[in-house]
Structure 1
Amino acid sequence: MRDFQFPGRSPVRATEAMAATSHPLATLAAIDMLRSGGNAMDAAVCAAAVQAVVEPQSTGIGGDCFVLYCPKGQGEVLAFNGSGRAPAAATVEWYLENGFSELPKQGPHAVTIPGAVDAWCRLLEDHGRKGIADALAPASHYAENGYVVHDRVAFDWEDPETDLSLDEAAARIFLPGGKPPRAGDVHRQPELAETLRIIARSGRAGFYEGAVAEDIVGRLRHLGGLHTLDDFAATKGDYKTPVGISYGGYGIHQMPPNNQGLTALLMLNVLSGFELSALDPNGAERLHLEIEAGRLAYRDRDNLIGDQDHVAVPVKELLSGAYADRLRAAIDRERAMTNLPRLELPGSDTVYISVVDRDRNAVSFINSTYYSFGSGVVGPKTGVVMQNRGSSFRLDPNHPNSIAPGKRPMHTIMPGMMTKNGRAVMPFGVMGGGYQPFGHVHLLTNMIDFGMDPQQALDAPRVFYNNDVVETERNVRADAVEGLRSRGHQLVEPHHPLGGGQAVLIDWEKGTLTGASDPRKDGLALGY
């Protein structure tokens, strides 16, 4: 139980259903969907669509999504890969011959074909009770009639990673009057409202064919992109088999590569050999072990993960106990390692959604355009912000993550699912680009090893190794800071808080749900 004399929030507790998102309007839309007869998948898609409007810096219909789903909370966990692919004309040779030394972070060559709308439609057809029109109705309303800009959204909007002024449509829509909106301002996106109405009427074809696709492809090609209408029409997500391990008596499930979810599992395997529960949860030793396990796991991520439809990724070997033992042996509890490659991990703006309904359908859902406002390319007639996931590709033809026609890039956004004895225990996720494996591990170990409830686990101070320094949130205790420094870590205070997450914990014996939403974002959990 938290100390009520300190700032904070309690977890939300209910019996029937629960939704947790990073924005109040999205959580409310999910609850409205559930109370009107929709199920968890309907609610998750509805919430994602709302966030595509009200958190335009973080997500949109020009982005991608991944989903883990446990129908009725029992049996097999399903994984759906809704990430987009490179254009058919995108080859390493083309980029090298045209003077590229790396894929740009902004502009048309950063854009992969968005997979979110295809995924939304497919998931609703396969698992929802309502259709895409119902799911998009609240989002269309907010885009047309306006929404109030919330505080974290305004904070991100004012300092985007992407220069919105370079694209005429982006500047017109997202820099009204030449500047970003402030918290409390009302913002509208009428072009996007019409696009959402087209998708509501025509489904998947309304986005990947016809006027919407023509507007987007026309803009990309005008800027020099390789995208075609055929690339859009061919877009199709697919079901995958999750990867997973056992940790502390729980099953931990992640998306397989091209997703970085494997990185969190590697970290957990390494940490399983230490008695974390005997340590101070906010002390230097616990944080040091997490940092070092992360550095080892990210090295393997950067060297080995790619699209398994194109390259072989040694998943079984990486998740073996013997490999974890080898990695663990490299960690000195009293000293930071000095022999690992530099990690340069970009941040990203993402939304994560956790929903459980009265039938205990459990959905772990994540949606993103990657960097703040993605590529900065916006469809002038449609208002669609295009993602910049293509910037994750490499131009080394021998690297597993090299760009190739129809290939998916290594992806940072990762939903999680915790199970026990064949039943879902908690759909969970932590946003934040490269931080996400750290965030998953910190949340899970806070709960499993230290007995925290989901809200306490999300509230707890965070650190993150990046660019040869340890980003240390301001709420990390002074003695822990000194302990990390004494172990050889160089510490800096991050400009942005580290990540943001949501979770819904299922107690099958009591018949209750416990929801949590990260205070680093604007959102909340609601249940009934």
Structure 2
Amino acid sequence: MRHLPALLALATSLAGAPAMCADRITGQPFATRSEVIAPEAMAATSHPLATQIALDTMRRGGSAMDAAIAANAALGLMEPTGNGIGGDLFAIVWDPKTKKLYGYNGSGRSPRALTLEWFQENGYTEIPPHGPLPVTVPGTVDAWFALHGRFGRLPMREVLQPSIDYARKGHPVHETIAHYWGRSVPVLSKWPGFAEQFTINGRAPRKGELWRNPNLANTLETIGREGRDAFYKGEVARRIDAYFRQNGGFLRYEDLATHQGEWVEPVGTGYRGVEVWELPPNGQGIAALQMLNILEGYDFSRIPFGSAEHVHLFVEAKKLAFADRARWYADPDFFPEDDRKAAQALVQRLISKDYAAGRRALIAPDRAARAVDAGAVLNQGDTIYLTTADKDGMMVSLIQSNYRGMGSGMAPPGLGFIFQDRGEQFVLKPGHPNSYAPGKRPFHTIIPAFITRDGKPWVSFGVMGGAMQPQGHVQIVMNLVDFGMNLQEAGDAPRIHHDGSTDPAGQLVEMRDGGVLNLETGFPYETIRELMRRGHRIQFADGPYGGYQAIARDHENGVYVGASESRKDGQAAGY
């Protein structure tokens, strides 16, 4: 991972074709490796052992959904820096039987005992990032069982068994995970239960060191044996209740017992002959659709990859979409009573072509916008993304997260997992759509994606990483569709990351200075100079560019194609 910027710079300098970030040998777009191709099944995750667990699950007769849950459980153990059963989950599934996409919103709600008035009376202007206050109900286990009930084949205890075995016997910690684990330990060790369960004598495990989590093994074993309600209504729920009562928290047994995720219809937009699909709010997926609708109005067959024109138009479209994101994306269940029926209409309006045309007209071709308002209609996130595909044609796009770093730091003794801090995303401002309320789902950054073509599944993909996610989704779609890259090249190409847009969380600080544009190594200096002339504030950042996994269906040859993120520890593999 750490060698990629240097490789990209070398590729650019030697090829003499910086606009395409060309490979130094072939002259083709740069890739760290070739695509993975297999005839029957494919898995792409951010950890090689999780990928192998997914493939083994399908070899034993499991579906792509069984494989996705098995891999997700493994990642909760092996990559606790990004996810776990204390977090939330979203998924898009292509079902070959019905030949349609299904969506699941597995986000949890805020504690019913905690109110906006409590925050105000205690002097809070923002919800803190760690500790008991940002904790919301974890939706992952519910989502596992809902998705498994519709698309699974193997018993859940069998699906979870590989992770249980690794939790007891140990697994070697990988390089990128060890790095982020080491950053989290000093911050989170003060919270009860964290140091005892997620450190080795007070320090993070090092690269290659075996890590065991017998407490998580016991919890997964209970879930596999007793089912979903073991987590939300059984002894696990009672221990969670007692833990938060003892440590200044508000999450209660009743919050867990009443939790229920939601099947949702994916929403999509056409982009130059393909359909790109996301999930509706309370997530941010439709920001990617809004950006694509705006960018579709430009002829990228005449605009080279990596050129100032390409980057400028991308960033300006992002600013416009994110202004709407800050204003309108929230839990639709908490819109005013007379507006709830309008929530779906609002989404359709935001992703419509005529709305995009009006927004596109606000882009100056030669000048970066310093401030952008939302249309007149009703950033550090650590996450895992994985995708699986089986011999029957089922494809799963799944994303799961504890949100910031390793989450809140709240780790109930004996259970082996950390609660998410997703509630930090609420606004402590009355009247805002994302304002805090009891029993409400916060604005969510984690989003799975899917592309269909001619009514058939094409690409299941995601780009994890906070506000980078919709930006990353758009770049992958453009790389595939506009710039003709293959699945691996589309992920390895240098990325654009704009920061500083008005945010839907915290104190809602509005963008008035145009924000900051981060460009990954690989963009030519001529592009950077021209962007500066247009008023973009450029800086170089190490790390905010997300993490990509993808599987494509090659219908002509009857095979799957896989790609994995070169910036992570991941692997794509198949059989």
Of stretches 258-267 and 69-78 in structure 1, the one that deviates more from structure 2 is 69-78
For residues 424-458 of structure 1, give each alpha carbon's deviation from its aligned partner in whole angstroms, at most 9, with x where no partner exists: 11111110011100000000100011111110000
1:9-48 equivalent positions in 2, closer than 5 A: 9-48=33-72
Letter in 1 for 2:126: E
Shift of 1:341: 6.9
Of stretches 439-448 and 240-249 in structure 1, the one that deviates more from structure 2 is 240-249
Shift of 1:495: 3.1
Q: TM-score, normalised by structure 1?
A: 0.96
When residues 283 and 498 of structure 1 are mapped into structure 2, their CA distance, relative to the original with a 3 A threshold, is same
1:515 paired to 2:562:
yes
For residues 361-420 of structure 1, give each alpha carbon's deviation from its aligned partner in whole angstroms, at most 9, with x where no partner exists: 111111110111111111112122000111111111211111222211110000001112
Aligned to 2:350: 318
Aligned to 1:255: 279
Aligned to 1:365: 398
CA contact (8 A) 1:125 1:131 kept: no
1:262-411 equivalent positions in 2, closer than 5 A: 262-311=286-335, 312=340, 313=343, 314-340=346-372, 346-411=379-444
CA contact (8 A) 1:162 1:375 kept: no
Letter in 2 for 1:24: P
Letter in 2 for 1:154: A
Measured in 2, the distance between the counterparts of 1:131 and 1:282 equals 48
Aligned to 1:433: 466
Aligned to 2:100: 76
CA contact (8 A) 2:188 2:408 kept: no
Of stretches 500-509 and 173-182 in structure 1, the one that deviates more from structure 2 is 173-182
1:117 paired to 2:164:
no
Shift of 1:126: 1.3
Shift of 1:480: 2.4
1:475-486 equivalent positions in 2, closer than 5 A: 475-486=522-533
When residues 152 and 73 of structure 1 are mapped into structure 2, their CA distance, relative to the original with a 3 A threshold, is farther
SS of the equivalent of 2:184 reads coil
SS of the equivalent of 1:140 reads helix
Letter in 1 for 2:348: K
Shift of 1:4: 5.3
Of stretches 248-257 and 306-315 in structure 1, the one that deviates more from structure 2 is 306-315
Letter in 2 for 1:156: Y
Task: Select which of 527, 543, 551 maps to 1:496.
Answer: 543
For residues 172-192 of structure 1, give each alpha carbon's deviation from its aligned partner in whole angstroms, at most 9, with x where no partner exists: 222312222221111111111
Letter in 2 for 1:56: P
Aligned to 2:17: none
Measured in 1, the distance between the counterparts of 2:290 and 2:169 equals 46
Letter in 1 for 2:54: A
SS of the equivalent of 1:191 reads helix
For residues 7-41 of structure 1, give each alpha carbon's deviation from its aligned partner in whole angstroms, at most 9, with x where no partner exists: 71111011111111111011000000011100100
Measured in 1, the distance between the counterparts of 2:97 and 2:544 equals 32
For residues 245-275 of structure 1, give each alpha carbon's deviation from its aligned partner in whole angstroms, at most 9, with x where no partner exists: 1111111110111010011000000000011
CA contact (8 A) 1:254 1:417 kept: yes
Aligned to 2:505: none
Gaps of 5+ in 2: 1-21, 501-514
For residues 347-372 of structure 1, give each alpha carbon's deviation from its aligned partner in whole angstroms, at most 9, with x where no partner exists: 21111111111111111111110111
Measured in 1, the distance between the counterparts of 2:357 and 2:39 equals 42
Measured in 1, the distance between the counterparts of 2:118 and 2:244 equals 17
RMSD value over aligned CA atoms? 1.7
Shift of 1:73: 7.6
Measured in 2, the distance between the counterparts of 1:383 and 1:505 equals 35
When residues 7 and 127 of structure 1 are mapped into structure 2, their CA distance, relative to the original with a 3 A threshold, is closer
Question: Which consecutive segments of 4 or more residues in structure 1 shift more than 3 A?
Answer: 1-7
Measured in 2, the distance between the counterparts of 1:97 and 1:250 equals 51
Aligned to 2:16: none
